[in-house]
Structure 1
């Protein structure tokens, strides 16, 4: 039955708009145009004759009654709920503010980025403190230490990374030797290429490039694993059954990264030295025996100490950054990817900053 509209006065001399039939999209016909064309007074809207009403019909009645400030009467319980929902959803559209000038937009983005970076840094410090407390709790209660999980992390962080780190380090050694020889040849000092290879690989590049590789490989894996567990509420389930996520998930990963980084850094330095020695042998005609003897003469043992001191600190930063970002996942799967990216960027940035700090510190104490 098509909806019908009757404009008529009631016994109290009020102009009443009565609807009969079905107020549905299929039955409306020209009702919206008729209501728009009507410019007379309306005191009340009567829906007692309506058999059925959908959202479109409720919106048309609500808009008409709202523009005429007329109450709606004769509405059943279901239709009243529908009209209330339509009324609550009928909000004015907020106009988009005018864009700021380019200079102020740049300042706004810089300020927002600075605040976010500061909050992230503060959160990372807090997470580092929580990790230290978790280590202390495990030391007080050795039965909580998850040996199997830690050994598995050793394999993931260390053993599985040997091929890619070895290849990267070998090529870096070759590049350093080749570029150093090209530059030193101008002064007839190709022999000092050995000095360059030995000192820069043991002191800086061996550990630094390994840390960057571990951050991209293991740090991202930590963030993705913990983020997925957070998203599927596995971490909440662990807390419910009385298992500390910090002790069960963060401690094994952090311990594996801290212990494996010195080994990986030393391995990377040796492979880089081998790569540089191979190029010196084939290009500069420096035999391996001379190459090794020269390394022993020009590379102080403090260079090895510097690399081995930095390595566990870098491992700690990488593991804590990855676990921290993974624990921040909250709403949806997209957060996992965003937090994984943030973990890698944060870890690499902090590693480079700490490397610069270590360079100044060791220079001040005479380890140069």
Structure 2
């Protein structure tokens, strides 16, 4: 699709126009470099897709060069977000960078800029979907153990802060608060690890039970062509009667069922297995990340702080950690990281405050 400017007379560009075009030019060059850097860390189809995105950004670069003509001037720096993307792409080349790139593509100003062509605006919208697809592949590879890690850390932060504040609110001694916090850490980490292992193992077993048996594939050449029992298999997998009959007739004609019969029955379980993760990996991640989160509210007491000072330090440390996990979750999900961070903070502080008030209600006094 062409990105040439529309025909007809054009007004004389103002100094503001030139600054804006130079900024667009710098951003296009930086984005192309990001995609090339990411492509160096990929192979096969993903590498080709990233290089094609870089080539498309090059076409947009040419558009702004044509408009600027001999007024290109000294090369400008791209905006802060694009420079950050470039640094991350060179250092890590991970799904985090793709998630950031996805958000960057959504902020393209071309749809409202009269100097950008409709084709360029459409390109940016398509780029967003392309990057979303690439990021989704990375999220699938991470989501099993990463889900356990993030949930484990959040549960550790919130539950142990609530436990520590609740016990403190009841007016007990600092020694009891410390012992209770450590007990909550161990009990919660073990419970989370065991629960995650059982959950993931059960989910994988359910997925494995849905994969077609090899013996059924071997029986295909022996089936009665007239009875066409194979159609029942496809109908049981969700196909309509007509589609099942046609598919079964085709399989019987060639005498063997292809390895990958339908995306719903073959490709799906494979991807789901990958996104679920392994039982042991999820349990280990859940245990250690719960423990790493749960130790944060206990740290002030381990270092000898007490009373309101210990409570405030614990709340601040947990708040910082909740903001971090919320932002990371937002980045990976393609959502606004700042909003997700604030949501995590509000939920954690809300639970802790409620538990502290209950501790005061049923105990003998506050932190003292």
- For normalisation by structure 1, the TM-score amounts to 0.26
Higher normalized strand content (fraction of residues): 1
Say which one has the larger Rg: 1
Structure with bigger RCO (C-alpha 8 Å, 6+ apart): 2
